[in-house]
A and B are shown apart, each in its own frame.
Chain A
Amino acid sequence: MTVAEASDPVRASRRRLVLDGMGIIATAGGFGLVYGLAARAAGFSPIEAGGMSVIVFAGAAQFAAVGYVLGGFSWLGVVLLTAFLNARHLLYAAALAPYLADRPRPLRALMAHLLTDEAFALSIAHFRRIGRADLWGYWWAAIVTTFIPWNIATLAGATLGGQIPDPSRYGLDVIFPAAMAGLAVGLVTGRRELVAALAGAIVGVAVGLASDPAAGILAGGLIGPLLGLLTPAGRGDHRQEAQIVFTPTLDDPSREHEHP
């Protein structure tokens, strides 16, 4: 970290956000390509595959939809399963809501459409590092690292089709879990976060094996924080929620250097 960055935590945190986002760009690009190829193979036209990436913009649900369409599921079944698969977004939005409470409602409505696993992971880490919201950071996480590569790669896969080698040969399939685990490590700042993360993972795998991975993700996300909350806070634990302040950043650059 340079002297300038040390005196400006927002700039330092944005720099880290950009670097962390590189792995996410690779993930979104790799999986977007695979999705495009899979959708094309299932009979989707490039417009249908691309339309789904723009309108639904939720990787797991889109992959599942390809399988459901291929398997001849009813549309009602596909829509209900999509709602279930994406229910975890409730938790993401609820966790981000305190940071974004003072933003205009139309802006929050737009931000909601772009909320994905990756956008949440990058932006919540960034917000917590600086102790407040930063619109630049959210747009970077949601649009530059996820929406754009996901949609370009979808179109490439659906249009080019065919002979692109299996991305898992290049280890692209492990980038997503590695990025999620790495970002979780970055959010562990005390005993409670550690318990929440470990408990969430254990519960998630157990429920995922007993029923379905989507149910496991939801269960881990709900029960992990509960067990973390029941854990006594360690002496060095940060109570970062107390540091949240609601100051504009890009809306009002003159206040960029105000920090709690």
Chain B
Amino acid sequence: MSTDLVLLAVLMGAATYPSRALPLLAPGMHRLPARVQEYLRLVGPAILATLAAVNVMVAIDADRNPSFHVGIEWLAVGACVVLVAARRGLLVGTVVAALIAALARSTGLA
């Protein structure tokens, strides 16, 4: 069984680890100015919303060219957002989102 690409995995891991570790290991991160801490507090909602939006709205073709995507995924994710906002819980929201997408695809609507 080939193991050649394990070395590539090690190199990829070495390229990834600093971005994960540096802010956690650098001294003084907990003594940042209040303005910086407020900025970092806003990173959570911003990057999670960005991940969701980019995942649903930006499609990539085989040549890695991006294009704007409109599809049933919008409705599915929107339903999840509404359910979480209505305090129905993330689990219910994600299950409903998956059901909407699966149903639309199985019936040929998407």
CA distance A101 to B23 in the complex (A): 10
CA distance A28 to B68 in the complex (A): 25
Give every chain A residue within 8 A of B81 (Cβ-Cβ). 181-182, 185
Residue pair B101, A174 in contact (C-beta under 8 Å): yes
Interface string of A193-219 (1 = CB under 8 A from B): 110111111111100111111001100
4 additional contacts (CB under 8 A) given A175-B98, A181-B77, A209-B68: A57-B13, A97-B24, A185-B85, A197-B46
- Number of B residues whose C-beta is below 8 Å from A? 79
Give every chain B residue within 8 A of A124 (Cβ-Cβ). 44
Contact of A19 (CB < 8 Å), options: B13, B44, B90: B90
Residue pair B91, A22 in contact (C-beta under 8 Å): yes
Residues of A1-42 at the interface with B, using a CB-CB cut-off of 8 Å, are 16, 19-20, 22-23, 26-27
- Decide if the interface of chain B is mainly helix, strand, loop or mixed: helix
Residue pair B12, A82 in contact (C-beta under 8 Å): yes
Residue pair B50, A96 in contact (C-beta under 8 Å): no
Residue pair A182, B94 in contact (C-beta under 8 Å): yes
CA distance A75 to B53 in the complex (A): 30
B6, B10, B23 — most chain A CB neighbours (10 Å): B23
Residues of A164-203 at the interface with B, using a CB-CB cut-off of 8 Å, are 168-188, 192-194, 196-203
Interface string of B60-86 (1 = CB under 8 A from A): 100010111000010011001101110
Q: Is A255 an interface residue (CB 8 A)?
A: no
Residue pair A171, B105 in contact (C-beta under 8 Å): yes
Contact of B50 (CB < 8 Å), options: A19, A97, A168, A216: A216
Residue pair A78, B8 in contact (C-beta under 8 Å): yes
CA distance A105 to B22 in the complex (A): 11
Residue pair A51, B6 in contact (C-beta under 8 Å): yes
CA distance A79 to B11 in the complex (A): 6
Residue pair B20, A93 in contact (C-beta under 8 Å): yes
CA distance A83 to B93 in the complex (A): 32
CA distance A94 to B49 in the complex (A): 18
Q: Is A141 an interface residue (CB 8 A)?
A: no
Contact of A108 (CB < 8 Å), options: B24, B32, B48, B103: B24
User: A196 and B46 in contact (CB under 8 A), knowing A23-B95, A44-B5, A213-B58?
Assistant: yes
Q: Is A87 an interface residue (CB 8 A)?
A: yes
CA distance A175 to B32 in the complex (A): 35
Residue pair B66, A212 in contact (C-beta under 8 Å): yes
Give every chain A residue within 8 A of B17 (Cβ-Cβ). 112-113
Q: Is A246 an interface residue (CB 8 A)?
A: yes
**B99 to nearest A CB, angstroms?**
6
CA distance A58 to B21 in the complex (A): 14
CA distance A6 to B76 in the complex (A): 32
Give every chain B residue within 8 A of A202 (Cβ-Cβ). 53
> What residue in chain A is nearest B99 (Cβ atoms)?
A171
Residue pair A93, B21 in contact (C-beta under 8 Å): yes
**A19 to nearest B CB, angstroms?**
5
CA distance A68 to B67 in the complex (A): 20
Q: Is A131 an interface residue (CB 8 A)?
A: no
